[in-house]
Copies of this chain bind each other. A is one copy, B any other.
């Protein structure tokens, strides 16, 4: 029977690492023997376990190891990480190691080296010369890149549940619409202040409902107060933001009276056309056409705003990136260093951003639809805390809490 010995250490019982590992082994049809186990006798001490894992076939053993690695399992008899060179641009070697969004190290010449720019579902490239390891998406790998394969020499730092739960309880799970959300909002505000106190980066991912609900003004306010360092969105948010700046409407609804003043789509097409006529958003600022709104505030301050197009876009508005790989590349660049991500009323761009964020980024997903909130976690961004609430009232309360 194929077998392998692994080690797990840390808060492996109270972080539920050990029981999860046992689950996986049994669910996938394997078996295990606890060769050694030391249990921390108080809540500050860590535990240690060494398990021998057996499986009916090499393939199943390989599956089990691949999953256990996500919980921090390390092969006891492991060697340095193994690599295979890329032979065709944009194509990985068959047994490529696919990353998680957890902090990950690879062993090079006996030393554990941090993988840089970690994100989920990409490959790890090793540069032996500089003894460094990088993440790289499949379509960007080049002939000759050394790609990590197999399971040797890979160590993932599992997600440990926060010790000090009182401080930010909801960050561990989600706040249903049936819990006290004002508390959670004020806690988010407090964390934002902490991050800004040390000059950290906060990312907002915004859907068009932010504008439709008249909540654009609260976001503009947060930008002016210095709480927004990056924005991700699409054609719709920028278009309706500019529609509201130029005509006072969003999808034809007057944001000051709530009345429908236009048949619907005409004003947003006019807004796009007006900017296209000038040639760029920059020109719209220079000429004084654009005098308020989210776009105005970020451009005045040179805050990066990445606008990724989608198949349903009208226009599009200048600055919207229509090539998906190019847009991802730009988002990848801008997520570097982000400490907190706040995603409001966005599904497509929130999931796309979730794919790019390391698990260490505090992520808050705000949507009135509980399905959106759980979808992000289902897609692997398990660190995302959800807040099932009204986007407009959330932003209003957040802006108030921060003023």
- Name A's B-contacting residues (CB within 8 A): 13-16, 18-19, 22-23, 25-28, 31-34, 37, 39-43, 63, 66-67, 70, 88, 90-92, 94, 96, 98, 120-121, 137-139, 161, 163, 165-166, 169-170, 177-184, 209, 212-214, 234, 253, 255, 257-266, 269-270, 272-273, 276-277, 308-316, 322-325, 327-328, 331, 347-349, 351-352, 355, 368-371, 380, 388-394, 396-397
Number of copies: 4
Whether A180 contacts B255 by the Cβ 8 Å rule is yes
Q: What are the 10 A-B residue pairs with the smallest beta carbon separation, nearest first?
A: A393-B393, A312-B352, A180-B214, A308-B311, A311-B352, A390-B390, A67-B263, A183-B258, A309-B324, A322-B324
Whether B310 contacts A277 by the Cβ 8 Å rule is no
Q: Which of A13, A177, A213, A316 has the most CB of B within 10 A?
A: A177
A393 to B218 alpha-carbon distance, docked (Å): 16
A392 to B393 alpha-carbon distance, docked (Å): 10
The residue of chain B having its C-beta at the shortest distance from the C-beta of A272 within the complex is: B138
Chain B hits for A139, CB < 8 A:
315-316
Could you list 11 A-B pairs, sorted by A, with CB under 8 Å?
A14-B19, A22-B43, A23-B161, A27-B260, A98-B265, A180-B258, A183-B214, A316-B325, A368-B390, A370-B370, A393-B397
A278 to B140 alpha-carbon distance, docked (Å): 17
Whether A170 contacts B258 by the Cβ 8 Å rule is yes
A16 to B21 alpha-carbon distance, docked (Å): 11
Among candidates B180, B260, B324, B327, residue contacting A213 with C-beta atoms closer than 8 Å: B180
**Contact (A63, B262) CB under 8 Å given A183-B214, A390-B390:** yes
Chain B hits for A31, CB < 8 A:
42-43
**Contact (A181, B348) CB under 8 Å given A33-B42, A138-B315, A370-B370:** no
Whether A393 contacts B181 by the Cβ 8 Å rule is yes
Chain B hits for A370, CB < 8 A:
370-371
Whether A178 contacts B212 by the Cβ 8 Å rule is yes
A352 to B13 alpha-carbon distance, docked (Å): 36
A42 to B35 alpha-carbon distance, docked (Å): 10
The residue of chain B having its C-beta at the shortest distance from the C-beta of A310 within the complex is: B310
